[in-house]
Structure 1
Amino acid sequence: MRILLTNDDGYHAPGLKVLEAIARKLSDDVWIVAPAEEQSGAGHSLTLSRPIRVRKHGEQRYAVAGTPTDAVMMALAKIMKDSPPDLILSGVNRGANLAEDVTYSGTVSAAMEGALGGIRSIALSQIYSREGMGDSVPFEAAAAWGERVLRPLLDAPLAPRTLVNINFPAGPADAVKGVRVVSQGLRDYGRLQIVSNTDPRGYEYHWFALGRTVETPAHATDLEATADGFVSVTPLHLDLTHRESLDMLAQAYR
């Protein structure tokens, strides 16, 4: 089995090293094609306004000066064109990709691109508690549970254009209670905080900050599962049509 690894935290990210260790328990044919720099929040964007450069860091190891989608496209259409992967793993992301996070996430979008290419694709993210952590993220749960969560997914039936989104709960590996297959959740809108200031030349500038919302997550969702100490496994489909609304909208044009 040939495995392609990518992420949105960048080629040198600690989570990618964790993912490589997990992948090598599944196969000895592992490739890395990842963004050269951090691309968190890049979503499913691709680069059209400038050339894309690729740097080889060793056998089957490449850094792409672009987005996560660029990296997967480069892997499938050029670097691995004659030896395509059987599986794409994206991560392990530094932080959660739960609920509506998936619409912003470069980690999840890299897996989306793989699914569009007809390749089994899985996104993995490690949740962590921000209190007292600074920039340090413990990947204990992902490292300990990664292989056992992935193995059943290698042969599990998946509908076309479907990817899998995995989130490991915060805390030590021995505190993880198990695995739950759940739906994508949805938070109350209002997490965005805009921090404004003025530069030395008198021009205003702004930082986006995603704050926390206090809420009770819906039952059987990724938000609830991870809050309860479980690894969440969620199938996501690339057909975004809300079928229940089709007839209602059609009535508006009659």
Structure 2
Amino acid sequence: MKFLVSNDDGVHAPGLLALAQALSKVGEVMVVAPNNEQSGCGSALSISQPLYTHQLPSGFIAVNGSPADCVYLALHELYQDTHFDCVITGINSGANLGQDVLFSGTFGAALTAQLFGLPAIATSLVGARMKGDGQDQTSRYQMAADEIVKLLTETSIVQAFKSLPYHVLNVNIPDVNDADDIKGRKITCLGHSQIARPVHHMVDPRGRDAYWLSLRKQQYKSPSEIEDTQSSATNMTDDQAVAAGYISLSPVRLHHTPADTLNRLSALML
């Protein structure tokens, strides 16, 4: 298999390295990623300035643009003659759950690939920003990358998404230290959690008002609470699944106008 890999944490991010190394054991990997962190940029494209590339000793290609730029450039110029089986983005440092996918550069890069007809998977490691020292973080990213490879090799998920146009698979690995602590995989729907404090106001050293935007959610429920509330439910939400120790697999459909909405609004025009 041939994989195109990108991210929004930058070309030097440990999650990107772990993912590329793990995928290289089961296929050929090309990496095109931003030269610095681009978190929160969604699927933005740089159409008012040129893009420049730089190849690192690792073979990774760094781009002075967004994650979506990287995928767009890779598919239509850098690797235009390569047939990729799948585009995989991440491993994101921290969760991409619920409405966060609208802002995530990791998800935006995967969406860009899907718009051009390629199976696309966005991957994230819950809690990665908050826990452990350097060595511990490296081992957790390796664990997450191994789980992603297992998903690709133990299931026919890539083949399934080839027949699902405009769908992106959003994967979140739970906040655990060891693969043995993962309870399994759950197909989930996107949740919607209230943002604890959307804007942080501060005053900078020069006395100017400054504002820091935040997507941090309110505290998740405990695993026991999640199990209790899901006894009669059909599907967990993504945040419920990872809180209960499962890998969350959320199929997200884009480019879709519901037929019932079209009919409802058309009736207003009569």
TM-score between both structures, scaled by the size of structure 1 = 0.90
In 1, the alpha carbon distance for the partners of 2:146 and 2:20 equals: 13
Q: Map Cα deviations across residues 134-193 of structure 1 (whole Å, 9 max, x no partner).
A: 8974325413412111222232353112221111000122110001112122223x4343
Query: How many pairs does the alignment contain?
Result: 252
Q: Map Cα deviations across residues 34-88 of structure 1 (whole Å, 9 max, x no partner).
A: 1111101010101122211111124752111000000001101110012232211
Identity %: 33
1:142 aligns with 2:147: no
More deviation in 79-88 or 225-234?
Answer: 79-88
Matches within 5 A, 1:106-145: 106-128=105-127, 133=132, 137=137, 138-139=140-141, 141-145=143-147
Aligned with residue 246 of structure 2, among 224, 230, 253: 230
Q: Aligned-residue CA RMSD in angstroms? A: 2.3
Matches within 5 A, 1:1-254: 1-27=1-27, 29-58=28-57, 60-128=59-127, 133=132, 137=137, 138-139=140-141, 141-151=143-153, 152=155, 153-157=157-161, 158-172=163-177, 173-188=179-194, 190-214=195-219, 219=233, 220=235, 221-254=237-270
Bigger share in strand: 1
Q: Go from structure 1 to structure 2 and tell me whether the alpha carbon gap of 1:148 and 1:234 turns closer, same or farther (over 3 Å shift).
A: same
In 2, the alpha carbon distance for the partners of 1:140 and 1:150 equals: 15
In 2, the alpha carbon distance for the partners of 1:2 and 1:124 equals: 17
In 2, the alpha carbon distance for the partners of 1:33 and 1:210 equals: 26
More deviation in 211-220 or 78-87?
Answer: 211-220
Gap runs ≥5 in structure 1: none
Tell me if structure 1 keeps the 8 A contact 2:100–2:215: no
TM-score between both structures, scaled by the size of structure 2 = 0.85
**2:68 partner letter:** T
**1:171 partner letter:** V
Tell me if structure 2 keeps the 8 A contact 1:149–1:179: no
Tell me if structure 2 keeps the 8 A contact 1:7–1:90: yes
In 2, the alpha carbon distance for the partners of 1:244 and 1:228 equals: 35
Q: Go from structure 1 to structure 2 and tell me whether the alpha carbon gap of 1:247 and 1:146 turns closer, same or farther (over 3 Å shift).
A: same
In 2, the alpha carbon distance for the partners of 1:242 and 1:214 equals: 33
In 1, the alpha carbon distance for the partners of 2:97 and 2:216 equals: 14
In 2, the alpha carbon distance for the partners of 1:193 and 1:66 equals: 26
In 2, the alpha carbon distance for the partners of 1:14 and 1:214 equals: 26
SS in 1 for 2:266: helix
